[in-house]
Structure 1
Amino acid sequence: MELGFIILIVAILCVMAIVREFKAQNMFGVAFAGISALVFGFFSIATLYWELIRPLFES
């Protein structure tokens, strides 16, 4: 479960990097930060779902 929260923090930092790179007009950086935000965001949500939400619905 801790891994999901750590990955979520990394995804939030990637979103902050997207904003910073847009201001600097660095589209290469925006692309890498965007891809990283999507990947880390997906894995953080999937991990938190698997560890927190799914066990609530199991019988």
Structure 2
Amino acid sequence: MNIIIGILIVWAVLAVLGFVIKGLLWLAVIALVLFAATVLWGMLKRGASSRS
């Protein structure tokens, strides 16, 4: 679970940098998509482990 939290922090930092630096708006979009994917993946893994 610590790895997922670490990845989420990295994606959040990249998203903020992308919005702050206008030339890196594409970085913010990619970071937000990856943030959402990581959250979903973490929820699925957590749900699968609690069912076992």
Q: TM-score, normalised by structure 1?
A: 0.66
| CA deviation after TM superposition for structure 1 residue 12, in Å | 2.5
Structure with more helix by fraction: 2
**For the aligned residues, what is the CA RMSD?**
1.6
| Residue among 7, 13, 16 paired with 1:19 | 16
Structure 2, unmatched stretches of 5+, are none
Among all aligned residue pairs of Structure 1 and Structure 2, give the percentage whose two residues are the same amino acid. 14
Q: TM-score, normalised by structure 2?
A: 0.72
Q: Which has the larger radius of gyration?
A: 1
Q: How many positions carry a matched residue from both structures?
A: 50
- Contact preservation (8 Å) 1:18, 1:29: yes
- 2:35 and 2:17 map into 1 onto residues whose CA distance is 14
Structure 2 counterpart of 1:41, one-letter code: V
- Contact preservation (8 Å) 1:8, 1:44: no
Structure 2 counterpart of 1:46, one-letter code: L
Structure 1, unmatched stretches of 5+, are none
